[in-house]
Amino acid sequence: MNWTTRKAFHNLSSRQQYNRLCTRRGFHLSVGKTHLQDRNGSNNFLTYSSEKNRYHVTCGNLGSSETTENLASTTYFEETSLDFPPQTPSAHDNVVEEIVYEDSQLQNVEIDCFENFQNLLRQCCLDMNINHVQTKAILRVLRTHKCFQNLPKDSRTLLKTSRDRINFVPIGSGVYWHIGFVKPLEKHLFFYAADEIPLVLEIELNTDGLSLSKSNPMQYWPLQYRVINIPYFKPVIIGVYKGLDKPYDVYNFFENLLDEVKEANRLGGILIRNRRIPIVFKNFVADAPARALVLNHYGHNSSNPCSKCKVNGFRHENRMVYLGINHEKRTNEQYISCVDEDHQKGKSPLEDLGIPIVTRVPFEIMHLVYLGVTVRLLSAWYDGKFGYTAKLRTSALNEMSSRYVELNKFCLNEFARRPRSLAKFSKFKATELRHFLLYAAPIISFGILSEEFYFHLLLLNVAMRIVTSIKCSKRQLETAEKCLQMFVKHAEHLYTASFVSYNVHGLQHLVDDVKELGHLENCSAFVYENNMPFFKKSIRNHPRPLEQFANRLREKNYIQHVPERNPENHRLSVIHTNGPIPECIENTNLIQYKNYQSNKFNFAVDDCNSFCKIRDKSICRIENILTVNEDVFFVVQTFQNVTNFYELPIQSSTVGVYKCKELSKDLQLISINYVTAKCYSMPSWSGSFSSTQKSEKNNDEYIVSTLLHYIK
């Protein structure tokens, strides 16, 4: 018995120690004077002294003190007399109890606790990206304490680093490591309940190239997938290609996946709990270079790069431009037949997976709109790359940038990155550019851009708010399509022809993608880009980076991962007693809170996160959060004067943008179920701006915009 077991025994109560003694010696109890027989057949007697409140063990029938000595020498205790708290006799004292325990019960409990500690330590090392050298140093320190002497000495033992050899498949000038598709998917879905798994699994594919550093020419192309009809299903890597160039033989890149899918379809789907579930490949998401690679057509700088229409580009000022709208559209049948040799190089492996290439390979908005068109607009205003008429004066740029930075005070918790100086727009991440285009741009540029350029910006803003909204009507989609076509058409006049690049041309196809696949945030590359940091962190300074990633991925997969779920519950925090309460409520039955969090909304009192829209389309500010008989209510004040922020190209209220002022002093009580959207409240600036006089902020007026990620 090790010291840990002894320590656990002495932490027990006296009666628990007695029961453990019986477990250890294998005794049988009887009433009154209890007869005990150990495993060796030795007879012992346990008597209770009411005066001293003690149990005493004596030996019998042996004629020697051997049993007493053995009993006293046990590792559980040093004396044969045990103290118990006083107790009154009861009817249960006359009941004979037979206690049959295994000798290893206590040891098994402590072994389980120790294994749980090892699992937590392993998970911590993987989550914090602690390398093997650091992990080994931590183990060395922990093992100096007697509690952790049984920890492994080497980090590879703790992390379960695989010793299996990694099989690479040569593809062109590089190599490909296939992790697997069917077996990892079956393993992942095994932890889901039967009612959580749909009748047919809809798969979305993605691939993208990345490099670990600017100085290293090596490229990595991970092939990823996710099940889009299982909520919160995170992307999983199928395989990784490494080479100095792209995997130009795209069929070799997809060969292992195609073989697995073919075999799974022959068997009727993947096997989950003795049930075959069919799989259907729904769509493929990628940026322009990856689209050209996988669809096996010429790149985005060629004369015929568009996979959705037959536009012809030409070179202008050292750039390929694609002017005009309403070009002849391609069909899936034409793509399968490879009728356009000026566009296609050959067949695509997506055809073997059953993905319609024209309709189910959307233009990806993260790269096309945010990192493409939005950056292009900012470079036109800042650098004058697309005509000097579009370039703004330094004073105007400084004013716009200062307005954007001031939005820090009003920024919501839902935004991953806070606004910073627009002068650094070339370093902006896609989430920053999304915040700028969908919410901030019309407000901070009001009065700074000329009327013509401002209207052109609103065309893009209105259209993108429609196509990224979870709920949009058929009429709104028609409006968005017209706005995007007008944006592309007038871009040549405002920003010169060189502005109309492949990304700008692709805007006019976004509405078709929404009609086919739903709102564009649902089929963007954001979720796959969020999976890239693990890939980069897994590869450290080592001459064999792909092997390192393979080891890190195997270590991660060794841990049993519980599927991520986001239930419809809520959490209230920060209790207080000084909030306003309507007179219609009795104070005895309520609790006041400052924060409310759910999978839909995050609200806070006296904060920028306190604005919401309710069912009667009123805009409110939350003054207090209450629970009355476990029901959640908001105490709100409503804006009395709510108008449109702009009237053209459509009324701003159609896309959830309002100009609000005159906050009512009357308090209203509304249920949390009455809230339809969270709102982003931003300051309003006057429309007059000149180089000698800055525009003033309207302190009593707000521009309120509904968040697009959730609207009832």
Look up residue 316 and give its two tokens. Answer: 């202008």
- Among 87, 67, 69, 73, CA closest to 27: 67
Query: Mind listing the pLDDT tens digit for each residue in 128-180?
Result: 889 999 999 999 999 999 888 889 999 999 998 888 888 899 998 899 999 99
Using CA atoms, how far apart are residues 74 and 77, in angstroms rounded to an integer?
6
Q: What does the pLDDT read at residue 710?
A: 67
For the ranges 31-40, 170-179, 517-526, 581-590, which has the lowest average pLDDT?
A: 31-40
Q: What is the average pLDDT value for the chain, to the nearest integer? A: 85
* H or E stretch at 82: strand 81-83
| 539 CB-contact burial (10 Å; exposed 0-12 / middle 13-18 / buried 19+) | middle
Using CA atoms, how far apart are residues 103 and 527, in angstroms rounded to an integer?
52
Helix 474-495 and helix 451-467, axial crossing angle in degrees, nearest 10 = 140
For the ranges 327-341, 352-366, 555-569, 663-677, which has the lowest average pLDDT?
A: 555-569
Using CA atoms, how far apart are residues 82 and 85, in angstroms rounded to an integer?
10
For the ranges 26-40, 254-268, 650-664, which has the lowest average pLDDT?
A: 26-40
pLDDT of 74 strictly over 60: no
Residue with tokens 């490879």: 338
Q: Residues 663, 640: contact at Cβ < 8 Å?
A: yes
Query: Mind listing the pLDDT tens digit for each residue in 476-504?
Result: 999 999 999 999 999 999 999 999 999 99
pLDDT of 42 strictly over 50: no
Q: Residues 165, 241: contact at Cβ < 8 Å?
A: no
Q: Residues 328, 304: contact at Cβ < 8 Å?
A: no
Q: 605 φ, ψ to 5°?
A: -80, 145
- Among 312, 270, 709, 276, CA closest to 521: 709
In this prediction, what percent of the chain has a pLDDT beyond 70? Answer: 81
Q: How confident is the model at residue 16 (pLDDT cuts 50, 70, 90)?
A: low
Higher-pLDDT residue of 78 and 453 is 453
pLDDT of 568 strictly over 80: no
Using CA atoms, how far apart are residues 77 and 98, in angstroms rounded to an integer?
23
Q: What does the pLDDT read at residue 23?
A: 60
- Any alpha helices (H) in 510-625, and if so which ranges? 510-517, 526-529, 532-538, 545-558
Q: What does the pLDDT read at residue 105?
A: 52
Q: What does the pLDDT read at residue 31?
A: 36
Q: How confident is the model at residue 24 (pLDDT cuts 50, 70, 90)?
A: low
Q: How many CB atoms lie within 10 A of CB 422?
A: 21
> 499-509: b or e for each residue (b if 16 or more CB lie within 10 Å)?
bbbbbbbbbbb
| Chain centre distance of CA 186 | 21
Q: What does the pLDDT read at residue 81?
A: 42
| 110 CB-contact burial (10 Å; exposed 0-12 / middle 13-18 / buried 19+) | middle
Helices (H) and strands (E) in the chain, counts: 23, 24
Q: How confident is the model at residue 704 (pLDDT cuts 50, 70, 90)?
A: very high
Residue 267 vs residues 271, 276, 374: alpha-carbon distances, Å = 9, 8, 47
pLDDT of 516 strictly over 80: yes
Higher-pLDDT residue of 527 and 690 is 527
Using CA atoms, how far apart are residues 115 and 22, in angstroms rounded to an integer?
27
Query: Mind listing the pLDDT tens digit for each residue in 574-618?
Result: 999 988 988 877 766 789 999 999 887 899 998 899 999 999 999
Give the number of residues written for the chain: 712
Q: How many CB atoms lie within 10 A of CB 200?
A: 12
Q: What does the pLDDT read at residue 12?
A: 66
Name the DSSP class of 11: T
Q: What does the pLDDT read at residue 65?
A: 40
pLDDT of 41 strictly over 80: no
Cα radius of gyration (the chain): 35
Using CA atoms, how far apart are residues 316 and 500, in angstroms rounded to an integer?
10
Q: Residues 467, 380: contact at Cβ < 8 Å?
A: no
- Among 427, 422, 424, 433, CA closest to 398: 422
| Chain centre distance of CA 65 | 69
Q: Residues 372, 482: contact at Cβ < 8 Å?
A: no
- Give the residues across from 277 on adjacent strands: 270
Using CA atoms, how far apart are residues 157 and 163, in angstroms rounded to an integer?
11
Using CA atoms, how far apart are residues 495 and 133, in angstroms rounded to an integer?
55
Using CA atoms, how far apart are residues 448 and 454, in angstroms rounded to an integer?
8
Q: Residues 117, 152: contact at Cβ < 8 Å?
A: no
Q: 54 φ, ψ to 5°?
A: -140, 150
Residue 110 vs residues 5, 16, 19: alpha-carbon distances, Å = 7, 16, 17
Residue with tokens 């107790």: 87
Look up residue 343 and give its two tokens. Answer: 């566009």
pLDDT (mean) for 311-334: 94
pTM of the model: 0.82
Concatenate the DSSP letters of all residues of 339-396 into one string: --TTTBSS--TTTTTT--HHHHSPPPHIIIIIIIIIHHHHHHHHH-TT-TTTPPPHHH
- Among 449, 565, 559, 471, CA closest to 521: 471
- Among 308, 441, 295, 418, CA closest to 363: 308
Q: How many CB atoms lie within 10 A of CB 294?
A: 24
Query: Mind listing the pLDDT tens digit for each residue in 657-689?
Result: 999 999 999 999 999 999 999 999 999 998 777
Using CA atoms, how far apart are residues 257 and 281, in angstroms rounded to an integer?
12
Peptide bond into 349 cis (omega under 30): no
Peptide bond into 649 cis (omega under 30): yes
Query: Mind listing the pLDDT tens digit for each residue in 243-258?
Result: 999 998 999 999 999 9
- Give the residues across from 34 on adjacent strands: 46
Beta strand extents in 533-656 (DSSP E only): 570-576, 590-598, 602-604, 611-614, 619-628, 631-644
Q: 151 φ, ψ to 5°?
A: -65, 150
Using CA atoms, how far apart are residues 53 and 87, in angstroms rounded to an integer?
9
